[in-house]
Amino acid sequence: MSRAAVVAWGEPNQVNLLPSLHAACAISGGWMHSLALNRDGTVVAWGFDSDGQTDIPDGLSKVVSISGGIAHSLALREDGTVVAWGGHMSRRQMCLST
């Protein structure tokens, strides 16, 4: 089986990939940060962290989709809930039910 790799480039703080990026199945880019979704439903974030957009909320799991915004990040869980962090939320997590 071949291995896939995520390659990033840009500002120096945007290319520091983390060891927890082990089996990416999806990626998303924000303004100056990036997100990766691992096959096990966990999320990895790296890059500029002005508003907490790379601070993954504790216990975030069972994620099926991700999206990066200007200064926030979003994750859709398999149960349909959306988790948002960063942005104008002062480093707080917000959960929304669909």
Handedness of CA 22, 67, 59, 14 (dihedral sign): positive
Which among 87, 75, 10 is positioned nearest to 44, based on CA atoms?
Answer: 75
pLDDT tens per residue, the chain (98 residues)?
445 566 666 665 555 566 667 788 999 989 888 999 999 999 999 888 889 999 999 999 999 999 999 999 999 999 999 999 998 654 455 555 55
pLDDT score of 23: 84
